[in-house]
Amino acid sequence: MLPAEHSPLTFARLLQERLFRDAVVAGDTDRPITWCLAWDEIDGPLEDVLVYAHAGQLDPAAVRKRGVVALIVAGATEVPELDVPVAIVPERITYREVGRLVAELALARETHVLRYGLTVHRSLAELLYRGAGLAALCHQLGRLSRCPVAILDRQRRPLACEPGELDRETVLATLHDGLPATIDGWHGHEPRTMTLDGTTCMVSPIMLGGRHDGWVAVLETAEPPHPHDLAEHRVVVEQAVTIVGTEMLRMRSVEQAEERARGDFVHALLHARFSNLRDLEARAAHYGFPTEGTFGVVVVGGLGAPDEADSPNTLFQLAREITRLPSSQDRHTLATVVGDVLAVIREVSDDDLAEYATVLEHEFARRVPKPAIVAFGRSVTGARRIIDSYREARITLKLRQRLGNGTARGFEDLRVFAVLADLATGEQGKAFAREMLAPLRSGGADLEQAVFTYVSCGGNVNAAARELHIHRNTMLYKLDRASRALRLDLRQAEHQCALWLAGKLDLLADTIATVDRDVLPT
């Protein structure tokens, strides 16, 4: 417990000493003092400084100008009329005696603060050394302060709470609603006395490497709180923020190591990187993941480029939060980051997978400022076939990114693309697309664009011209060039269908090749 001497040294406390027993006192003596100077030594501001002067040295104008907090006047016959508290002492009491007494009391106070701070630090450091965790540290802080204590993260969410005699929900609600969202204007670990919802609290931010990572708060049970209790709790909070921050850093390192190991397992599932079935079963058993069941993969793109400064940390944080969603708790769910894509493995049926993808889409719309693109593959049976669902999800995602967000989210819903997938990667499909598109591409990109716009408009020249913002005659000229290059009459529906099919096969072949380079094991 912090001794009573920890209370700030005041002029009134100084006058209780034997040296000032015969002093004549005037004014409000309840003013804090930290040091003592002689009148002829003072220079500059005198905040919290007691001044010793002889009767003949006093100048009321100079006293007001220099902002003297209190005066000891030696040898005066009457109390001078000043705006500061004054103590009249006999001439025999020298500046040396007064200065020495003030120094002893001030240093004694600091010694008590350091001694109590060392006691608090030792009790918390022992728990930190044993790796007891935030809950044990919070419990010890509650014992030391005899008040409710809470440790919060930077979003003011509870990490540990020792409510004492109060209700836990009341304590957390008071801190969540009252603490500031940022620490602008806050200097380091400096604790502050704040009044939150009528409750006095001693609060300090947790700073790790210059970054705000949370809060430590002690709620006073007495209103108004005793000054000695506030001083004691200030020391408790000052010592707590460093040790609690160190424990948070240790826990974060452990969590990140576990997440990296779990992420390696998820990558192995997505890319089928297991040496044999026993390897898969052993690693799956370690994470409690079933190898027999129905699984589907949902991928989310458009969340940020990999070279953006905060993108990797943001994506990994999102992956952690996705697995903690209530909708993710009822089934086995694993998530990780692959490049700039977030991949989620879910134990579901086809209908459940579409519903779960909708839930994720809504969650990302709420959490991420950028529009996220969600896609999923067909469900598969057995953990060894998860790569198939992942590949289909990546193909669907890539098509949505190329064709627009209005495209179907599920691979099975792609219909034409799903049917043509095998044909597009075969030699026959590639040869057909090459044969149809090579003459167009040799004529320039604008010629290919004009033809495919004409086909997508159902062979309507006017609609295609409006779509491309060109004159109708220009459109006719381009179609005539394309017909000569292809040696086909583009007005015939059969030839339009052939070009449409070639375009789809080419797009699909390029998309699948890009995805396979990322997905298939090497």
Of 387, 414, 441, the last residue of a domain is 414
Whole-angstrom Cα distance, residue 195 to residue 203? 10
In this structure, the answer to whether residues 87 and 22 fall within a common structural domain is: yes
Same domain, yes or no: 287 and 389:
yes
> Do residues 101 and 47 share a domain?
yes
Given 222, 251, 280, the domain boundary residue is: 251
CATH number reported for the structural domain that contains residue 151 in this entry: 3.30.450.40
pLDDT in tens, 413-461: 777 777 777 788 778 888 888 888 888 888 777 788 888 888 888 888 8
Domain that holds residue 76: 4-108
The answer to whether residues 104 and 20 belong to one domain is: yes
- How many degrees, rounded to 5, is the angle at CA 188 between CA 182 and CA 189? 95
Chain length of the chain: 522
pLDDT at position 441: 80
308 shares a domain with 193: no
Which of 266, 346, 337, 328 lies closest to 304, judged by CA? Answer: 337
**390: in domain:** yes
* CATH code, 24: 3.40.1390.10
Residue with tokens 């002067």: 53
Q: Helix 227-271 crosses helix 386-403 at what angle (to 10 degrees)?
A: 100
Note whether residue 179 is domain-resident: yes
* Pair 385, 463 in one domain: no
Claim to verify: residue 276 and residue 405 sit in the same structural domain: yes
Same domain as 336, residue 282: yes
Q: Is residue 373 part of a domain?
A: yes
Look at residues 380, 399, 414 and tell me which one is the last residue of a structural domain: 414
Q: What is the pLDDT of residue 424?
A: 80
On whether both 450 and 391 belong to a single domain, the answer is: no
Q: At 334, is the secondary structure helix, strand, or coil? A: strand
260 part of a folded domain: no
* 451 found inside a domain: yes
Within a domain: residue 158? yes
Same structural domain, 332 and 399: yes
Strands (E), 49-107: 49-54, 70-74, 86-89
Q: Are residues 409 and 425 in the same domain?
A: no
More confident residue, 508 or 299: 299
pLDDT single digits (tens) 27-68: 888 888 888 888 888 776 677 888 898 888 877 777 777 778
Number of structural domains found in the chain: 4
**Proportion of the chain above pLDDT 90, given as a percent:** 3
Q: Which of 55, 88, 56 is nearest to 70 (CA)?
A: 88
The model carries a pTM of 0.58
Mark whether 95 and 224 lie in a shared domain: no
The CATH number of residue 460's host domain is 1.10.10.2840
Q: Is the pLDDT of residue 306 over 60?
A: no
